[in-house]
Structure 1
Amino acid sequence: MRGCCVLPFSFPHIAIGVSHSHSFTIHTPTSKSILSSIHNHPFSPTSLHAQQQQQPHHHQEEDEESFQILTSVKTDYNHIMIVDTPKSTMLLLDSSHNVHSILYKDKKWTNSYWDEFSSLPAIVPKGPIAILGLGGGTAAHLMLELWPALQLEGWEIDDILIDKARDYFGLSDLEKTNEDGGILNVHIGDAFIPSDDLHRRYAGIVVDLFSDGKVLPQLQEVSTWLELHDRLMANGRFMVNCGGIDGVDGSTDPKKLSNDEAWLLNAAIKALLKAFPGQLSWKRMPKETGQNFMALTGPLPDLKSWSANVPSPLSTGVMDWKPCEIVSGI
């Protein structure tokens, strides 16, 4: 699967009571526990009925949070599951049931890496911005709220996923030109296929491509980034969700790395640095939001100026970007 985003969670195991309608009540206020419950249940009528007989229902209304499976379908690329709770709608993909998109019902902010992409328009030229890995459109929602005149182009390989995102994540609303001229144009297809029409087209490109909870292997290849770079206009930038720690080989001893060298534990960032030497910055999200590595191409921006041109909490978060440098002589 290509074209979705992953927020890795570690889910505790809990038992729940279930019903044939795929509507559930659990006695915990956290979405992590909801996802733990889903992770431990195959959703067939037989298994649901058996689980209902095995698990007693509890009645602690002050603690309970209900959720419902809105749809569950397998496609050529994904196992799509969309979960609705009183506070949010979540897109789960693959057997891991990682969260690939989330839409809160009272806000666009997610307090996670999706928000980071909305800082990109402040440091790129005027022009369209592409999102490779649109998923349910989490990043697009906030980007168009903060930058209502933005021209977004979202790429997603799974047409059924796009249909579901239109039904349950308000994607179709973003595909209509708003009063400021902003819009999301959706492209269904393989984002890696070369096209002359894309030459120097984008001011910025957001890259958020995963499969089975891991960054696509193509993003660990220098050649991929050099080919995608052809789509950026002069002074354009990539902003990339690089996932977590991976690709560690015998030449990299994590114990010998300084805090400023943690990026060496991520294969996608290492490939990006080879493609754009001296032109790569990085940051790592906090532990409570998944510890994803983020990468930004081009010269390190003036952080104070960048901070002044984006709203809080982005104004604080952009100050964490730093250049990829090896300082310990590894």
Structure 2
Amino acid sequence: MNLAGAQIFPNPLSAKHGRRFPFTLKSHRSKYDGDDGIPIEDVKTLVKFKSRHNYIRVLQVSRTAHHPLAGSRLLLLDAPGNIHSIFFPFKSLTNAYFDVLATLPPIIPPGPLAILGFGAGSSAKPVLEMHPEAVIHGWELDPSVISVAREYFGLEKLEKEHPDRLYIHTGNALNASTKDGFAGIFVDLFTKGCVIPQLQDASTWERLKRILKKGGRIMANVGGHCVEPEDIRKDGGVIMVETLKAMHKVFGDELFVLNLNDREDESSLALTGRLPDSNEWKKALKKPLRFYADLWKAYAPLEDQLPRK
């Protein structure tokens, strides 16, 4: 698709949005519900270019903006303007779905953690800082994203601080492997504003299951209706349902869903394996993360709950 003429955001001068940027977070909007965007004067574009795989933009949000994203840097990779990474210079947590990965280490066996779809490292940072034993291998298809992450999102600093705990690989994340298997895998793979089509195929989840250690788990960002595809004929909620159905074929009753919004088709994460005791799980987590342990529910088909067209 030629992105040269694509509209990154709804027209900031339109009657609907006034002079505001209404960002869409790739899989989490609950923290920003009721807010119709960031004033245009509070947003500065630091980087904008097309790589082989993405339309890369880095935005700086003013620290004086009256918005939860004030003081952050945002990574946008697709034409609709979905946020793929958030970086706050002086804190690890983003108050977005990236933080949920930091709840995984206490419920997996010892061993490396893989992040498939590394982006600018928003999920890796809290894991490394909150779990001193964690070792992360991150895969990102686009080397340009990693270059931008090192320059604008603190990734270079993170790598220097954790040289034996953070390893970055560029290439197809679905080819990820390690000698003795991963203790945990975080799947966060999107292209053109959609969960990649391979994740609607059960055979992909079969392969990912095979590269887990015994007792290992997969946590996946399965998107939802709030994710805006470049192709207007697609719907993020429908793609989420198909992705969860493919996972269910492989993991059966050991599949759980965390809904990040009131509507179950709006935005979700998935977790494999038996659900841990929430009280024990919370004891092993930092206080800001504990509430996530209570949000997981057993997977149930969502087709009947999707909005009718």
Q: TM-score range by the shorter chain?
A: 0.7 to 0.9
1:89 to 46, 70, 73: 73
Q: List alignment gaps of at least 5 residues for structure 2.
A: 2-8, 21-33, 64-70, 227-236
**Is the 1:199–1:230 contact (alpha carbons within 8 Å) kept by the matching residues of 2?**
no
**2:285 aligned partner, one-letter code:** V
1:312 CA drift (Å)? 2.2
- Structure with higher Rg: it is 1
1:266 aligns with 2:248: no
**2:283 aligned partner, one-letter code:** A
2:290 to 310, 315, 318: 315
**1:186 aligned partner, one-letter code:** I
1:156 CA drift (Å)? 0.1
Whole-angstrom distance in 1 between the partners of 2:171 and 2:284: 34
**Is the 1:133–1:154 contact (alpha carbons within 8 Å) kept by the matching residues of 2?**
yes
Task: Decide whether aligned partners of structure 1 residues 93 and 265 sit closer, same or farther in structure 2, where only a CA change above 3 A counts.
Answer: closer
**Is the 1:245–1:266 contact (alpha carbons within 8 Å) kept by the matching residues of 2?**
no
TM-score, normalization by structure 2:
0.76
SS in 1 for 2:286: coil
1:77 aligns with 2:53: yes
Whole-angstrom distance in 1 between the partners of 2:146 and 2:73: 15
SS in 1 for 2:93: coil
1:225 CA drift (Å)? 0.4
Alignment of 1:1-330 (within 5 A): 13-15=17-19, 33-34=37-38, 37=40, 66-85=42-61, 86=63, 87-178=71-162, 183-193=165-175, 198=178, 200-245=180-225, 266-287=241-262, 291-325=266-300
Task: Decide whether aligned partners of structure 1 residues 154 and 99 sit closer, same or farther in structure 2, where only a CA change above 3 A counts.
Answer: same
TM-score, normalization by structure 1:
0.72
Question: Among the aligned pairs, what percent are the same residue?
Answer: 38
**2:17 aligned partner, one-letter code:** H
How many residues were matched structurally?
262
Offset from partner CA, 1:208-261 (integer Å, 9 cap, x none): 111122111111110000011121111000001100049xxxxxxxxxxxxxxx
The CA RMSD over aligned residues, in Å, is 3.2
**1:174 aligned partner, one-letter code:** L
SS in 1 for 2:173: coil
Whole-angstrom distance in 2 between the partners of 1:182 and 1:239: 23
Runs of 4+ in 1 over 6 A off after TM superposition: 262-265
